[in-house]
Amino acid sequence: MRRGRSLLAISLVSLLACGTELDGMPPPKYSGDGPNGGSSAATGTSTTGTGTGSPTNLAPPEPPPTKIVELPGASDDLAPSEKAYLTEIAESFNSPCGEPITLETCILEQRPCKLCGPAASTAARLVKQGEYKSDIRKWLELRFTDAALVEAFPPSPSPVFGGIKAPIEIVEFADFECPHCGKVAPMVHALAEKGPIAGKIRIVFKNMPLKMHPHAEPAARAAWAAHQQGRFWPMHDLLFGNQDALGEDDLEGYAKKLGLDLAKWKADFTSQAAKDAIAKDYALGERSGVTGTPSLFINRRRFVPLGSDDFQVQLETWVKTELLKTPG
């Protein structure tokens, strides 16, 4: 069974991220709680022994669980050892709807909570993919408990894509020079533009230009200046589509290409108001726990992918699960 990397690392580099605080971080430690124990796929080091590069201060591997409770719709395709691990997780995690019962009880008694099925199915998928039991529990907490919600984002003049009354709000903190942001942005927009859930999503963009990217802050100001003329999203697409050409001459060229009032764009681009707006977004990101870009918050909950499924598949599944909370 494949060993997953620590959720600590995943939560910090949650989306393929460019990091603000990631350089020089110590390697994650592993708890040895998977069915097969042993080595870390992320670092290639053994969880036993004392050779150079091996993690230290590790707890001994837990004995494999043996109790198996069949969870209809979740454990059907698992091997016996995987079912035992899923049983242990489902017995130790409460119902995601806040009832004083376990996830296991919610499934077995067919409680009306619409989130129990997706929670159990996702846990089963992660067990099958070899993720740590402790990471799966932590992921369930991040995904379903109220304690993981960040403070409500205050109303602002930030760019919005999609219906203002849409039940799903995705707040995206991004850096126009971050290559991972350039990959993730079209995936997020695909959800909002196409398919059955398109009309149920709005995207709120927040600038998070990282100091490691010298062109990110000017690019953010270029986008802000375009926003003052109602053309943020076309500029957004040009900037992400040309990440190797973000010099000031390039930025002015994009403004011309979009047919903007160039004198106004230049004044806005160099204004203190632009710098202040970007600094305000950055400070909001820091208060919300952002440590790298891109970072997505879906209805005040940070999106943290886990497992080997495609990023876009996990994002769409997360949003569809969130829609189960909405009436109708």
d(Cα 72, Cα 2) in Å, to the nearest integer?
24
Cβ neighbours around 301 below 10 Å, total: 18
The whole-number pLDDT of residue 195 equals: 82
Domains for the chain: give ranges and CATH numbers.
80-151+310-323 (no CATH), 160-296 (3.40.30.10)
Query: In this model, does residue 34 exceed pLDDT 80?
Result: no
Q: Summarize pLDDT for 284-302 with one digit per residue, the tens.
A: 999 999 999 999 999 999 9
Mean of all residue pLDDT scores within the chain: 85
DSSP letter string, 43-82: T--BSSS--TT---SPPPPPPPP------TTTSTT--HHH
Query: In this model, does residue 151 exceed pLDDT 80?
Result: yes
Q: Summarize pLDDT for 184-229 with one digit per residue, the tens.
A: 999 999 999 988 888 899 999 999 999 999 999 999 999 999 999 9
